[in-house]
Structures are given as structure tokens and as C-alpha cells.
Structure 1
């Protein structure tokens, strides 16, 4: 995946369409992100560059509960690709 604002927006949309709120805040996050599961809020370190933000969301999305039926067709295709890539990395 290329590190562009458009691709970052697509990843944020997957979370947004599943009722997650994505916020960029400063803080001392060990992994670059913090998940407030009960409130469905994803907090990313605002000092991450574009590559860091995209890589963090690519790591995070397979770990959270995504409501697949709420996703647009484009988001479903991207989500399927992300999950597939995450599984192939786990199996490697």
C-alpha cells in the first residue's frame, strides 16, 4: 500500500464505518496507538508520519471488531485485503 493521504483516509473510513472514532493525540504510546474499546475510540500518536499512521492502522484494523455489513463495498474489499495480509504475516 502506498503511503498517501488518500489511503490513510480509506483506512480511517473502515474504522469510521464501524462506529469507531479515530483521534490523533500526543502521548507516550508504546505502540503508537491506544484503543478505548468500550467507547470505540482509536487514539493514534499525532507525531507519527504518514507511513507510521498507515502502518499502525494496518496493524490495528485486524485486531478490532469491525462490523463488515456496515462497510461500503470499497471498504469491504480493502478490509478483506488487510485481513488476508495480516494472516499471511502471522503464518510466515
Structure 2
């Protein structure tokens, strides 16, 4: 019951107070610059990294990024910047 109330409160804050959903609902924020750079905020950890694939844990599921020549430019506990040729970004629901 408390979890439903908590979710309703988050939804109300997002709509009424115009707070960005990534802040109140713990969603990832993804910023891409063409197919060359991708910046992901609010992930829960790095699961896999190769020069052709990166997989990040999200609060609900995973994020899979495929391409080639990947290099991690920045990595922090909840932020990552990836450089390379990005071919696809896929959400995998758990």
C-alpha cells in the first residue's frame, strides 16, 4: 500500500510541480550527439563493456548500446559518457 502511495506522490509531483520525470521517477536520462557520443545519467551500474557493446543496469531493466570502437570517456557511480559509433540503443525490461 505504501509503495502505491509513494508512486502516486511521484506522479503528482511530476505533473503538478513540473519536476522532470527522471528526477522523481528514478529514470535514466540519455543524451546523444549524433552517433558519436552518448551520455547516460541515473544508471545503477556497468554490467558489460566491450568495444562493440555496453550494458548498463537501470532501476527497471537494462540499457544495451551496440556499435563499434567504443571508448568510455567518463565513468562515475551513476553517470557514463561513451564515445564511438553508436548503432542502436535498446531498453530491456526485467
Shorter-normalised TM-score: what interval?
A: under 0.3
Normalised by the length of structure 2, the TM-score is 0.25
- Which structure has greater helix proportion? 1
Normalised by the length of structure 1, the TM-score is 0.25
- Which structure has greater strand proportion? 2
Comparing both chains, which one has the higher relative contact order based on Cα–Cα distances under 8 Å and sequence gaps of 6 or more?
1
